[in-house]
Amino acid sequence: MPTYETHAPADPFARSLTAFEALTATLSGSVARAWTHAELEDHLEAVGRDLLRQLLQDHLDQRARMEEMQLRAGAEAVVVGPEGRVRPWREAGHGRLLATVFGLVRVTRIAHRGPGLGNVHPADAALSLPAGRHSAGLRRLAVREAVRGSFDQAHDAIERRCGNVLGKRRLEELVVAAAVDVDTFYRTRIPIPCSREMPLVIQVDGKGVVMRPEALREPTRRAAAKAATAHRGRLAPGEKPNRKRMATVACVFDTRPAPRRPHDVIHPPGGRSGERPARPGPRAENKWCTASLVRSPEQVIADAFDQAEARDPQRLRPWVVLVDGARHQLDLIEAVTARRGVTVRVLLDFVHVAEYTWAAAHAFHKPGSTEAEAWAAEHLTMILAGHADDAVHAMTAQAEREQLPAARREAVTACYRYLTGHLDQLHYDTALANGWPIATGAVEGACRHLIADRLDITGARWGLAGAEAVLRLRTVVANGDLDPYWHHHRVREHDRLYPRSRQHDFTLTS
C-alpha cells in the first residue's frame, strides 16, 4: 500500500526568511535605534546583499530539487547532446559555482552522460549559465565600469558593490569577451528614418592610442625598436614617438538644414554691429559612431557608408562628407563612393582652413593685433563665399610685394599649398546656402570622448585586444545602444554555448 505525505514540505525559502527575520529584529532593536542614517545604510547594504544572495541560492536549490523529483518520477525527456547523440545515463548532485552581483552561489543539477561523451546539463541551458564562473549581470556591471574608468577603478567599484567576486585580470577578459558581437548587432539594427530634406552627414577622423610594443603596427614597431638604440636626454612635452597606434573614428548623423551666410560664421572686420544676430549652424541628430584600432581605415569608412545607406537606401537625401584634409582619407572616400556609385559632397573642415589662414595672417601682422584679425576675417570670408582661389593668390601676391623673409613666408606658402591642394573640397558657398555643416566638430568630439577620455588617461599603455574591446563598447554606450546590445549579446552567447541539435530534423535522400 503506498504511503502518503502527512506533513507539508519544508519551505524552500526558509533560510531566506530566517535571514530576513534576523535583519528586521536587528533594525527593531535598541542597538539600531542608536545608529545614524549612514550606519543604517552601511548595515543594510552589507546584510541586504547577503539576503539577496540567499534568495537566489534558495531558488537555485529549489530548481535542483524539482529536477531530481522529475527524474525519480520518470518524467525526464530524452537528452541529446549538441552532436546529436543520446545521453542515456543520469547522475544527480553535479554542482558548479556562479559569481553574481549578490555574491557567490552554487548551482546543483543533473548530469546526463553517455559512453565516451561529454556531460550535458539541461539545467545549464534553462538558466543560460555562462561558460565561466561569472554571471551575465556581473559581466554587464564589469562592462559599465570598465568603459567608464580604468580597470583598477572598475575592479574597486565592483568589489565595493558585490564583494570579492572578480579579479582584475578576469575583469579585462570579460570586457574583451563582451565586445565580440558589436558588428553583428549593428548589422541587424534599423536606423530611424528621416525626410529627404534632411542632409546625411558622414565625418571621419583618426586619433592615436599609446600601445605596448607588441600591439603596435609593424612599421611603427620597427621604428620604435630602431629609436630605442638612440639615447636622448628627455622628450619634448607631450612627445610619444613610435608608441601610438592610430584608431579610425567615423560618425554618421542627420541634420536639419540651417542656411547661413559667410558673416554668420566669421564676423566682419571691426566686429558685428548687433543689428542682426548670427544665424545658428546645423545640429547633429541621431548620431551614430564607430571606431576601431584593429580594423583598417577602409573597413571603418565602409561601415560608416553602410550606416548611411541603411538610413537612405534610395539615396534621395544629400550626402555630405567632412574630413580634415588627410590625403589617405580622401583617397579612401573616393574609392568607396566610386565602388558604391553614390554621389557625395566632400568638404574640408573649415576649422583646419582657419588655422592655416590665421598662421598666414601672423606672417603679415603681429599676433593678437586688430590688423591680423581683420586680415584673417577678410580672407576667410572670401573662402566662405566660394572664392578660395582668389584668396590664396591675393595672399601670395601680398607676400611678393612686401618681400617677406623666408621664415615668415613659410606660413603663407603652407596655407597656399593646403588650400590649392583641396580646392575641390572648399565649396563652402554651396554648403552654407543649403544649410550643411562645414566643420568636423561631431567626429572630433567623438575622438575626445571615445579615445582621449578613456584610452589616453595618464600612464595607460594598451594591449590590442583590451583597447579594441573598450573602444568598441564605448561606441555602443555613446550610441545609446548598450541595453539592446546586451540583449543581443546574451542571445548570441546562449546560442554559442547551447547549440540546438538539428540532426533529428534531417532526412536521408538518395
Contacts of 317 (CB under 8 A, 6+ apart): 194, 196, 197, 198, 199, 200, 311
- Reply yes or no on whether the pLDDT at 304 is more than 80: yes
Q: Rounded to an integer, what distance in angstroms lies between the CA atom of residue 283 and that of residue 436? A: 9
Of the candidate ranges 128-142, 209-223, 316-330, 392-406, the one whose mean pLDDT is the lowest: 209-223
- Reply yes or no on whether the pLDDT at 273 is more than 80: no
3-state secondary structure of 291: strand
The tens digit of pLDDT for each residue in 40-74 reads 999 999 999 999 999 999 999 999 999 888 888 87
Q: Rounded to an integer, what distance in angstroms lies between the CA atom of residue 330 and that of residue 360? A: 25
Q: In the 8-state DSSP scheme, what is residue 462?
A: B
Contacts of 40 (CB under 8 A, 6+ apart): 27, 32
pLDDT at 311: 94
For residue 276, give the amino acid letter: R
User: 383, 358, 381: which is closest to 371 by C-alpha?
Assistant: 358
pTM: 0.86
Contacts of 442 (CB under 8 A, 6+ apart): 201, 203, 251, 253, 284, 287
CA distances from 148 to 172, 477, 483 (A): 13, 10, 16
pLDDT at 75: 64
Average pLDDT over residues 18-38: 95
| Ranges of H-type helices in 115-261 | 122-127, 136-146, 151-162, 168-178, 182-188, 218-227
| Kind and range of the H or E run holding 215 | none
pLDDT at 503: 45
Q: Tell me what the pLDDT averaged over the chain comes to.
A: 89
User: 384, 380, 378, 358: which is closest to 438 by C-alpha?
Assistant: 384
Per the rule left: phi > 0, alpha: psi between -120 and 50, beta: everything else, 122 is: alpha
- Reply yes or no on whether the pLDDT at 240 is more than 80: no
More confident residue, 421 or 272: 421
Q: Rounded to an integer, what distance in angstroms lies between the CA atom of residue 81 and that of residue 146? A: 36
What percent of the chain clears pLDDT 70, i.e. is strictly above it?
91
Q: Rounded to an integer, what distance in angstroms lies between the CA atom of residue 251 and that of residue 206? A: 12
- Reply yes or no on whether the pLDDT at 458 is more than 90: no
Q: Rounded to an integer, what distance in angstroms lies between the CA atom of residue 288 and that of residue 300? A: 13
Judge whether 304 and 290 are in contact, CB under 8 Å: yes
- Reply yes or no on whether the pLDDT at 2 is more than 50: no
- Reply yes or no on whether the pLDDT at 491 is more than 50: yes
Judge whether 233 and 275 are in contact, CB under 8 Å: no
